[in-house]
Every structure is written in structure tokens, then in C-alpha cells.
Amino acid sequence: MTITISRAYDSWAQAQNAVRALEAEGIPSSEISLLANRYVDDKYTTSGPAPRLVTKEDDSAATEIGAGTGAAVGGGVGLLAGLGMLAIPGLGPVVAAGWLAATATGAAAGATAGGIVGALVEAGEDKDTAHVYGESLRRGGSLVTVRTDDANRAKVERVLNGFQPIDYRARGNEYRQAGWSQFDEKAAPYKPTSAELERIRRKWPDAAE
């Protein structure tokens, strides 16, 4: 039986290194997804081609979203080489690679709902947790999601937990204490503060460049 395991991280380096560690443990890159706020790196916030907002009706969208990842995996260089920019409802431009991106845009075959919360719930994530993960992304976090089976569940969880993911229960309580109730796709765009930018761009010890 296929299961989905997700972890959110405060820093971009944590998420990147979690992906590299998963691949090193033999988890196929095709089963890993990475979504991150565009503020993780200046190169994603400078002027350039606008990220594409795709819809369910766009038959070519899912293919295009996965094309970079497929080429990267085929070349043996891993998921991170396939990172690109696209727009997701409620998040706006994000840095993304992997299967969850197509579901989040509503472009995946059989997807019933677009948006990050809909994509996570469709993949099997608890709805309340999906809302916290969505808000974490909106505020500058990075999300790693893995499709796997029961045989590899412990290994995947061990790897993901090794890079200090957020405690989604504590983070959800923190958000609620500040007046938040759930992820809102219609909320105004969020720009991280200087302190938040420093946090999301913080280097992980021994992180690869």
C-alpha cells in the first residue's frame, strides 16, 4: 500500500539535505517532491520569466511540470536539478520539483482539487496538518513529501526527522495564538521579514552548496 509522508522545514538547506539523504538511501527521486517559498534564494525573487499558473484544463501542464525532474533523474543528478518555478493558488510563485507540484496546481491526471491543502489531503495527509504545512510554506518554509510503502516507512521517517522538521502541532498552535485559523488561498501575499529571511536561508551544518 502506498503511503505519503511529509515534513516541513524552516530552512531551505534542511529541506535540500533531506532530499539528498533520501536519494542516498535509495528512495527514487520520482517518489519525492519538494515545494518551497520563492524567498529561499535571491535567484527566485529577481526579475525573470514569470512562473506559470496552470489549470486542470491545461493538458500539457503536468508533463511540463515533471519534465525538468524527469530529465534530472534520467541524468542521475537527482530531484534538485529539476527545480523550477510555478504558481500555486494561495501561495503564488513557488520553487518546486516532483509529483506533488502537479497535484497542487490541479494539473495531475485524476486530481480533484488544486492548491497545496487539496494536494496534501488527496495524497493522504490529515486535513488539519495540511493546513499547517500550507501556512508554513506561505510564510517561507519548505516541504518535502515522499510516496513510499510500509516496508520503507521507518527509513523515510528516520531520514526526514534527521533534519529537524517543524513540530506541526506546536507550529499550528503558534499560528492560532496569533489569530490564524486555517490556510486561506485568498489571503494577501506574504513577504517574510528580515528575521524570517535569515531563518529560511540559514545554512545547515555541513550542507552541500
Task: Decide if 48 contacts 173 (C-beta within 8 A).
Answer: no
| pLDDT at site 209 | 42
| pLDDT at site 192 | 86
| pLDDT at site 8 | 97
Integer Cα distance of 114 and 71 in angstroms: 25
Q: Which three cell numbers stand for residue 52?
A: 506559470
| pLDDT at site 59 | 42
pTM: 0.84
Helices marked H in the chain — which ranges? 12-24, 61-74, 99-105, 116-122, 127-138, 150-161, 168-177, 194-200
For the chain, residues with pLDDT lower than 70 are 46-77, 106-114, 204-209
CB under 8 Å to 45, separation ≥6 — which residues? 38, 39
| pLDDT at site 90 | 83
Integer Cα distance of 199 and 148 in angstroms: 30
| pLDDT at site 103 | 83
Question: What letter represents residue 101's amino acid?
Answer: A
